[in-house]
Amino acid sequence: MVVFFGPPGVGKGTVAIRLAKEFGCRTISSGDLLRENVKSGTDLGSQAKKFMDSGGLVPDQLVTRVVMAGLDKTDGCIFLDGFPRTIVQAEELAVYLKERNWELRVIDLEADDGFLMARLTNRLICRDCGAIYHRINLTPKKEGVCDVCGGGLYRRADDHPDVVATRLLVYHQQSSPLRDYYRKLGLMVTLRGDTLLNETLAAARKVLVNIP
């Protein structure tokens, strides 16, 4: 299993999806799983929604439950995006992996807050396939329409500037301590997330092919 870690907007999802395809693995995104629960009106979704709308973290117990249920359906060839985000989640994941004898590597992507704010507030996402665009740097061929599947593009409610500011603050306060946690375990490599997508992909690919 490879965890893609980093602040919101650094490109974890994009990199994970592209490389998972290349390496024949599946992607699980905790944010996507939570949004699916909100959309389909599950109990868990309605509990998670208020935290997501405000830019805060969903309580560990809820998000862990939804991610582990997703992982249960796989064989461990997984690129995980957005989980863990707290030490408690990382510890739960460690127990889960140990029980299954699955190996863990962490790719940590970093970028400055100013860059992330500009990227997130300009981000557009395909409603149908989740492909990600940028109003200025990565525009679709036809405005408002996904190049990949023809679906409609939308801006996530939590990509509005005030919510993005909260998400960045939450990352620094609650999630970034995980970098020390994984660094000490010798499981993590840090790469820049603010280079061209192809450069970030190449750097991450190099890490993945060198995993013993």
The catalytic residue positions are 12, 85, 123, 156, 167
Q: Which residues 16-45 are close enough to bind ligand AMP by CB under 6 A?
A: 30-31, 34
Measured distance CA(194)–CA(153) in Å, rounded? 23
Q: Which residues 49-78 are close enough to bind ligand AMP by CB under 6 A?
A: 51-52, 55-58, 63
Residue 11 near ligand AMP by CB under 6 A: no
* Span from 84-92, 107-115, 127-135, 140-148 in contact with ligand AMP (CB under 6 A): 84-92
Residue 7 near ligand AMP by CB under 6 A: no
Give me 146's structure tokens: 């996904």
Which residue number, 153 or 206, has a Cβ lying nearer to ligand AMP?
153
Contact 110, 10 (CB under 8 A): yes
Strand 188-192 with 105-110, pairing: parallel
Instruction: Give the shortest CB-175-to-ligand AMP separation in angstroms.
Output: 8
Residue 83 near ligand AMP by CB under 6 A: yes
Which residue number, 11 or 31, has a Cβ lying nearer to ligand AMP?
31
* Span from 83-91, 126-134, 141-149, 191-199 in contact with ligand AMP (CB under 6 A): 83-91
Residues in the chain: 212
Which residue number, 44 or 212, has a Cβ lying nearer to ligand AMP?
44
Instruction: Give the shortest CB-18-to-ligand AMP separation in angstroms.
Output: 17
| Contact mark string toward ligand AMP, 138..167, x via CB under 6 A | --------------------x--------x
Instruction: Give the shortest CB-209-to-ligand AMP separation in angstroms.
Output: 26
Measured distance CA(95)–CA(107) in Å, rounded? 20
Where do contacts with ligand AMP occur on this chain (CB under 6 A)? 8, 30-31, 34, 51-52, 55-58, 63, 82-85, 89, 158, 167
